[in-house]
Amino acid sequence: MAEHRVTNLLTFDTEEWYHANYDDVDPAALRGRGSNFPAQVEEILAMCADAGAKATFFVLGAVAEDHPAVVRAIAAAGHEIASHGYGHALAYRQTMGEFAADVGRSVAILEDVTGTAVRGYRAPSWSIVAANLDYLAALEELGLIYDASIFPVRTFLYGIPDAPTHIHHPVVAGRSLRLWEVPTSVVTLAGRNIGYSGGFYFRLFPGFFVKYAIRRANRRGQPAIVYLHPREIDPGERCLSLPAKEAFIHYHGIGGTRAKLASLLRTFSFTSVIDHLRTIDPSIGK
Ligand SMILES: [Zn+2]
């Protein structure tokens, strides 16, 4: 029986098995090597339909070029299509101009494929950090309504540990943007923010802990933001050859992700980011 007091947010970073930001991985060189991506998305759409859940799919422009029918099927099922950039380049490795061009290119491709306006963006590998927070202004200039790139944690790769942990209008260069920031969920343990609701953290922690942390957010009136990747529900997908630490981060617990997601879908109700924002700001159009 789903708990309906707070509707949580379900998101999928919609990319292929080789879209990773590690030093020795070049996604562009691995493009076209084959993948189970269409079957993974089909499975996710079936799971969402069974549960009556809506989600946001942050799709790479390159993925929409390679699999336009898959992206159209996601949109036709009533889910939100948002941008994950073009080819999974890290935002903080680009100039602001390169960043704006990368996001703009992906938005144009996605809108062409689906015929629907793109409203949101999530950076590859949470690569909006303190040093390039001003890039958010470029998203507003592109006409986007929200960003979902900030992870309020401290890690070796990403994070803004002291960023607000609730949905807010970010302040950039002394100016509060109209753009909404939808930071990813953290739970505070011993004074430190840690992730729990997606990716590595979701695979690492037992399902009961993920549910405990979601309920803790919901008791404060906050939705949890779950984020997963199509490859994470498919232990049979091709693998990158990675050093031990990176392989652990990328693949640990992959055999249990599908069942954990199914259990969450039975326990909580989920919607897309844009539908949630409309409950906060009814002026956001359809
Ligand atoms: Zn990604």
Q: Where are the alpha helices (DSSP H) in 35-135?
A: 37-51, 61-66, 68-76, 96-114
Residue 8 lies in a domain: yes
Count up the domains in the chain and report the number.
1
Within a domain: 198: yes
Whether residue 92 is predicted with pLDDT greater than 80 in this model: the reply is yes
Instruction: Decide if pLDDT at 286 tops 90.
Output: no
The SS3 assignment for 262 reads helix
Write the CATH number for 39: 3.20.20.370
CA of 5 to the centre of ligand 1 (A): 30
Ligand 1 centroid to Cα of residue 241, in Å, is 18
How remote is the CA of residue 208 from the centroid of ligand 1, in Å?
26
Residue 29 lies in a domain: yes
What's the gap in Å between 1 CA and the centre of ligand 1?
A: 32
Give pLDDT tens digits for 159-197: 999 999 999 999 998 999 999 999 999 999 998 999 999
- Ligand 1 centroid from CA 4, angstroms: 29
Identify whether the C-beta of residue 75 lies closer than 8 Å to the C-beta of residue 116.
yes
Q: How far is CA 277 from the centre of its chain?
A: 16
Rounded-to-10 torsion of CA 246, 250, 251, 252:
80
Q: Which of 69-78, 110-119, 151-160 has the lowest mean pLDDT?
A: 151-160
The pLDDT of residue 3 is 57
Asked if residue 286 is part of any domain, the answer here is no
b/e sequence 126-160, b meaning 16+ C-beta within 10 Å: bbbbeebbebbbbbbebebbbbbbbbbbeeeebbb
* Ramachandran angles phi, psi of 211, nearest 5°: -65, -40
Give me 222's structure tokens. 């906050």
Q: Indicate whether 253 pLDDT > 70.
A: yes
Structural domain for 191, as ranges: 3-280
CA-nearest of 38, 218, 13, 214 to 120 is: 13
Number of other residues whose CB lies within 10 A of the CB of residue 187: 21
Does a structural domain hold residue 285?
no
Distance 125 CA to ligand 1 centre (A): 6
Percent of the chain with pLDDT over 70: 98
Mean pLDDT over 267-282 rounds to: 96
250 CA → ligand 1 middle, Å: 12
Residues whose Cβ atom is located within 5 A of ion ligand 1: 13, 15, 124
Amino acid residing at 119:
R
Label residues 26-58 b or e (16+ Cβ within 10 Å = b): ebeebbeeebbbeebbeebbebbeebebbbbbb
- Does the structure show a pLDDT above 70 at 126? yes
Pick from 137-151, 176-190, 220-234, 242-256: least confident: 242-256
Would you place residue 1 in the very low, low, confident or very high pLDDT band (cuts 50, 70, 90)? very low
Residue 12 Cα, ligand 1 centroid: separation in angstroms? 9
* Average pLDDT estimate for 30-54: 96
Q: Is residue 60 part of a domain?
A: yes
Asked if the model's pLDDT at residue 144 lies above 70, the reply is yes
- Averaged over 56-72, what is the pLDDT? 98
**pTM listed for this prediction:** 0.97
Please report the pLDDT score of residue 187 as a whole number. Answer: 95
pLDDT at 227 over 90: yes
Amino acid symbol at 120: G
When pLDDT is cut at 50, 70 and 90, the band that residue 4 belongs to is low
Q: 17 CA to middle of ligand 1, Å?
A: 10
